[in-house]
Amino acid sequence: MAERDGIRIVARNRKARHEYEVLEEIEAGLVLRGAEVKSLRDGRASFTDSFARVEGGEVWLHNLHISPYAHASVDAPDPVRRRKLLLNRRQIGRLTAQTREAGLTLIPLDIHFRRGYAKVTLAVARGKKHRDKRDALKKKTMQREAERAIQDARRDR
């Protein structure tokens, strides 16, 4: 998909920043089985309704759909199974404390490869209200119109 600083972004959760107010971002390793890595490299992942949860001192990613790899010779695991995320104990403790706070949740922002390892960017986020979404859309539209006006003024010179 995109590449920056040796990081190749495979899939991005586009709805996340629209639906949630991102407070903090954390990078976590992703435990995969079999040909899931090859499927991810092909960009065959979907974030629909995916979220992360701290359970029993470990962080798990739920509802991330990784399509089975077409050329795999062994049976593929369940495409929407929960997947373990790799974080250190201090990070898990901080996430546990933050998600206990009312209204905060963990959502994946993107999946990328860093030095050959699959990673997930998690966000500690708070759900936006309908009016917040409208305000954000209004600001974005105003910004776009202002940039367009500046470009038109430059062309008219």
Helix runs in the chain, H state only? 16-19, 36-41, 89-100, 130-156
Which secondary-structure segment (H or E) carries 104? strand 104-114
Reported as a single tens digit per residue, the pLDDT across 37-66 is 888 888 888 888 899 999 999 999 999 998
Query: 102: domain range?
Result: 2-128
Residue 120 included in any domain: yes
CATH number at residue 115: 2.40.280.10
Which value, to the nearest 10 degrees, does the dihedral of the CA atoms of residues 125, 127, 129, 134 take? 60
pLDDT given at position 42:
87
- Return d(Cα 109, Cα 6) in angstroms, integer: 18
Residue 138 lies in a domain: no
Does some domain include residue 143?
Answer: no
Q: How confident is the model at residue 68 (pLDDT cuts 50, 70, 90)?
A: confident
pLDDT tens sequence across 86-108: 999 999 999 999 988 777 999 99
pLDDT of residue 4 exceeding 70: no
**Whole-angstrom distance, CA of residue 49 vs CA of residue 15:** 10
The two tokens of residue 149 are: 């006006």
Residue 61, pLDDT score: 93
Is residue 156 assigned to a domain?
Answer: no
Backbone angles phi, psi at 24, to 5 degrees: -155, 145
107: enclosing H helix or E strand: strand 104-114
Query: How far is 133 from 92, CA to CA, in rounded Å?
Result: 30
In a domain, 96, yes or no: yes
113 lies in some domain = yes
pLDDT value at 2 more than 70? no
Percent residues over pLDDT 70 in the chain: 96
In a domain, 136, yes or no: no
- Domain count for the chain, please give it: 1
Residues near 153 by beta carbon (within 8 Å), at least 6 away in sequence? none
Q: Is residue 116 part of a domain?
A: yes
Name the β-bridge partners of 61: 52, 83
